[in-house]
Amino acid sequence: MRFLRDTHVICLIYDGIKNSVFKSQVLQPLLAELDANKGLKITLISFERNAFNSQDLVWHDRLSVIILNRWLFFGRLSLVYAFWQCKKVLKGVVADCILARGPLAGAIALDLIAGKRLKTTRCIIQARGLCAEEYRYAMRSKTSLSQRIRKKFVYHELEQLERCVYGKQRKNIGYDITIEAVSPALKDYLVDRYQAEEKSIVIAYVDLPCAIIPATRALFRRELRRKLGIAEDARVYCYSGSYKPWQGVKESLDYFCHHASKDAYALLLILSPDQNQFDRELKSYGLSPHHYRILNVDPCQVLTYLCAADYGFLFRDNDCINWVSRPTKMLEYQAAGLSIIHNHTVAWLCQ
């Protein structure tokens, strides 16, 4: 726990409450902090493209939610409006710590501190990945002239923003900043690429899922295999996640089908909200329905259902964004005691 001695913490997020990892990587760690410190109050400020009523977002009586507007990113100037809104809602507010998720929220936090718009004693900036490189990867198929021009401009702006937030320039505001990287590989990248101070970077562990003890895992395994009609001696391979090409869907299915052709006891368990897409894809492979199960389970039950499996698939492209990452599904596989089948593109698994 990071806030055991604090009374008020402000958390800034720029990627939105409806982001797929919000509950696991933002909300649950904050709720755990509140449970650990009964005197703590947290103010969560989220910048959203689409307006909705923050009064509908009631998760805890000591967790306040403020929704502010977010502009489409077109460079550092697009954060001016976000900073102005923050300055208004935080006027006169005193906090023990400001926690910012990612470089865009981090830039806003640093501006608030540098401009003395917020009275606080420390700042934590969470480095969850490489914003500029993730944008480059997402836009790699854009080929028209206008798309290439925009891609080059936005990539440059994001890279400069990361350099300012993570690099040595941070020291110019005369304030103690901690960077929380999700992996040792990301820490090394920030030091090498942006000349971040190594001593100011820590590795984030507070949001890691707790490992399921062997006895509990064995109990879940027996109950779920019975419920799903899976033989006790079956070798169960699991794909957990959505139907996205970059998540290695094809590689996972190819691997399973290759082994299933040689192993009559092989079975594929898919935990995904995209049931129809997976069902069509598996039928195109000619797999018998006896060889797979497709389930859409509540995110809070994923770890339990993983206990029914023996292996978890984690295939990624050979790209720096994957090398420095700490995939949520990898952490869940490990917490459930699965052996991970991967293609050596994530440093956490290779080192």
Every domain of the chain and the residues it spans: 8-203, 214-350
Burial 148-163 (b: 16+ CB within 10 A, else e): eeebeebbebbbebbb
Decide if pLDDT at 288 tops 70. Answer: yes
Partner residues linked to 150 by β-bridges? none
Categorize the per-residue pLDDT at 143 as very low, low, confident or very high, splitting at 50, 70 and 90.
confident
Tell me, what DSSP letter sits at residue 182?
S
| CATH code matching the domain that covers 8-203, chosen among 3.40.470.10, 1.20.1250.20, 3.40.1050.10, 3.40.50.2000 | 3.40.50.2000
For residue 165, the tally of other CB atoms under 10 A from its CB is 27
Q: Per residue in 219-246, pLDDT tens?
A: 999 999 999 999 999 999 999 999 988 8
Q: How buried is residue 85: exposed, middle or buried, by Cβ count under 10 Å (0-12/13-18/19+)?
A: middle
What gap in Å lies between CA 21 and CA 16, rounded to an integer?
A: 10
Q: Per residue in 101-121, pLDDT tens?
A: 999 999 999 988 887 777 787
What pLDDT does residue 167 have?
87
Label the pairing between strands 177-181 and 41-48: unpaired
Q: Per residue in 65-86, pLDDT tens?
A: 999 999 888 888 889 999 999 9
Partner residues linked to 42 by β-bridges? 9, 63
DSSP string, 89-106: HTTT-EEEEEEEEHHHHH
Query: Which comes out higher in pLDDT, residue 143 or 337?
Result: 337
For the 214-350 domain, the top CATH level (class) is: alpha beta
What amino acid is encoded at 112 in this protein? L
List the structure tokens of 164: 């300012």
Within this chain, domains 8-203 and 214-350 share the same CATH topology: yes
Three-state DSSP at 14 gives coil
Label the pairing between strands 94-101 and 8-13: parallel
Decide if pLDDT at 172 tops 60. Answer: no
- Of the candidates 126, 133, 139, the one whose C-alpha atom is nearest the C-alpha of residue 165 is 126
What gap in Å lies between CA 252 and CA 6, rounded to an integer?
A: 45
What pLDDT does residue 54 have?
62
Q: Are 332 and 307 in contact (CB under 8 A)?
A: no
Mean pLDDT of the chain: 90
Share of the chain above pLDDT 90, in %: 67
Categorize the per-residue pLDDT at 175 as very low, low, confident or very high, splitting at 50, 70 and 90.
low
What amino acid is encoded at 239 in this protein? Y
